[in-house]
Amino acid sequence: MYLASVFTDHMVVQRQMPIPVWGWADTGRQVTVALATQRKSMIVPDGGYWQVCFDPIDAAEPLTLAVSDGETTIECNDIVVGEVWLCAGQSNMQWDVRRNDNAEQNIAGAVDPAIRLLDPTVWYASEPQVHLDAAWSVCSPDTVPDFSAVGYLFGRNLREQLDVPIGLIDISLGGSRVETWISRTALEADDMLKPQLDRYDFDRAHYILARQSHDISGVSPKPQGSPEESKKHVSGLFNAMIAPLIPHAMRGVIWYQGEANGNCGYHYRWMFTAMIRDWRRQWARGDFPFLFVQEPNLDLGPDGEYQWAELRESQAEALKLPGTAMAVTIDVGDPDDLHPSNKQPVADRLAALALCDVYGRDVPAHSPMFESYAVEADTIRVKFREARGGLETRDGESATGFVIAGVDRQFHPAEATIDGDSVVVRSNKVPNPLAARYAWANNPTCNLYNDAGLPAAPLRTDDWPGVTDMRR
């Protein structure tokens, strides 16, 4: 008999919701599971998989989870009840506390036994797996250095504000593309995404044939690496890292990914929303909170013109799904480095979104977002939601970052005048404007904020074809 690998000493169980516990045992045995004052039993069906579900628990003292099949007993000790968040994505989520700004101070201060960390070994798999290679640990200067900086700083913020235990699960991997986080079932069912799966299957079959030919004849050129060992492995991270967690009770997800899909930014909107829907369908517990980071500013050089602007727009498309929120970071990137070393503002903005949207706290959390526009004579009025007390510029200068175009679709820098929750833009070179854009560049110069100091998200009023529209 054994338990799912997410159940170990020092774990955090999610408060205020049902708690599934599962594992495997010999068919026909009676498994009894006890947690707090609750006890559940069942006869193990064919296949050996069993699952029980406890009613919500709210306990201040550490608990023990005990599982017995009549011959063997497994105990998990020092379990606390609190808030569990999944931290997922690629390298900027994986970026650890050790490499982050103020690392020495953050590591020395990481002495809080109410923060618990689960940091599995991340790998790819061709089929859905049932185990993770990990065990929960108590947050300390010894355990936090290699943990996700965004994840830890986010959790520390919630711990300070909510005063409950926080459990953080880090399953991020640098260079991973979004399609590797989506289940094969979801890809097969989506006409927009199935070509991605078909292409992967073709590459995999070609690799197998090439390897067989090489092994048999000794003459064929050595085949290139297996797609299954590539960071483009479709569904590979879903199989290895997500499947073993389902249906573990958690509050929600924080997500920081997109860089690896930057060259197909327009297509990302379908893949990203499909992934969110897929995870929610797999967990079967409604539209759980999904908070994500919009990519920051980065200088990609002339070859990457507008590439990340289109990626950011695709990320924002996910806001059409319920229970989602986006941390805008257009002002805290490093133009010369894909991996900004200061993850504190990113974590703070994610935590503010959680406190506001998930926990109902009255805190400023949302950036100004494009709401509507209207052509007024030779100007365009761009209206924002979440402007709060009115838009402003942090440096006290005129608003920068706006461009405007007419029927020729040639954009020109625009004069921008703030008017409450709107910005009125114009240019002498565009007497009959049709479209306006803001911060529409990989590394834009822009300075528009609301009165809470949160940056306005990049926008465009047009839907004209971009540089990544045909890329997949």
| Ramachandran bin of 47, using left for φ above 0, alpha for ψ from -120 to 50, beta for the remaining angles | left
Cα separation, 264 vs 270, in Å, equals 11
Q: What is d(CA 224, CA 214) in angstroms, rounded to the nearest whole number?
A: 11
Per-residue model confidence (pLDDT) at position 136: 98
Mean pLDDT of the chain: 93
DSSP state of 24: E
C-alpha R_g of the chain:
25
**211, 217, 221, 226: CA torsion to nearest 10:** 10
Asked whether residue 75 carries a pLDDT value surpassing 60, the answer given is yes
Task: Please give the Cα distance from 329 to 296 (Å, whole number).
Answer: 5
Range with the poorest average pLDDT among 135-144, 191-200, 280-289, 398-407 = 191-200
Render pLDDT for 214-269 as a digit per residue (tens, 0 to 9). 665 464 444 445 665 666 689 999 999 999 999 999 999 999 999 999 999 999 99
In sequence order, what are the beta bridge partners of 89?
256
CA distance 306 to 315: 14
Answer whether residue 58 shows pLDDT above 70: yes
What percent of the chain clears pLDDT 90, i.e. is strictly above it? 86
User: How many whole angstroms from its chain centre is CA 11?
Assistant: 22
Strands in 435-438's sheet, in edge-to-edge order, are 412-413, 402-405, 435-438, 459-460
What local confidence, expressed as pLDDT, does residue 200 receive? 82
Strand spans (E) along 19-114: 19-24, 30-35, 38-43, 49-54, 63-68, 73-89
Q: Which residues fall within 8 angstroms of residue 257, CB to CB, at 6 or more apart?
A: 88, 89, 90, 92, 93, 172, 176, 178, 181
From first CA to last CA, the distance across the chain in angstroms is 45
The residues, any chain, with a CB within 8 Å of residue 437's CB and separated by 6 or more, are 402, 403, 404, 411, 458, 459, 460, 461, 462
Confidence at residue 219, expressed as pLDDT on a 0 to 100 scale: 42
Whether the CA torsion 172, 174, 179, 184 is positive or negative: it is negative
What are the Cα distances from residue 204, in Å, to 14, 125, 207? 40, 13, 5
Tokens of 146: 């290699």
Please say whether the beta carbons of 115 and 139 come within 8 A. yes
Least confident of 126-140, 189-203, 237-251, 447-461: 189-203
Task: Calculate the alpha carbon distances from 71 to 25, 29, 32, 40 in Å.
Answer: 11, 10, 11, 17
User: Could you please report the per-residue DSSP string of 171-237?
Assistant: ---TT--GGGGS-HHHHHT-TTTHHHHHHHHHHHHHHHHHHHHHHHHS-SPPPPPPGGGSTT-TTHH
Residue type, 265: G
Predicted confidence at residue 87, as pLDDT, reads: 98
DSSP state for residue 238 in the 8-state scheme: I
> Which residues, listed in sequence order, are joined to residue 326 by a DSSP beta bridge?
292
β 73-89/252-256 pair status = parallel
Contact between 459 and 439 under an 8 Å Cβ cutoff? The reply is yes
Q: Answer whether residue 25 shows pLDDT above 70.
A: yes
Least confident segment among 157-171, 179-193, 370-384? 179-193
Find where tokens 């010369």 sit.
Answer: 336
Q: How many helices (H) and strands (E) does the chain have?
A: 9, 24
State the pLDDT at residue 230.
60
**Which of 416, 422, 421, 424 lies closest to 389, judged by CA?**
421
Q: What is the pLDDT of residue 226?
A: 60
pLDDT at residue 414 in the model: 98
* Residue partners of 412: CB distance under 8 A and separation at least 6: 403, 404, 405, 427, 429, 430
Q: Which pLDDT belongs to residue 195? A: 83
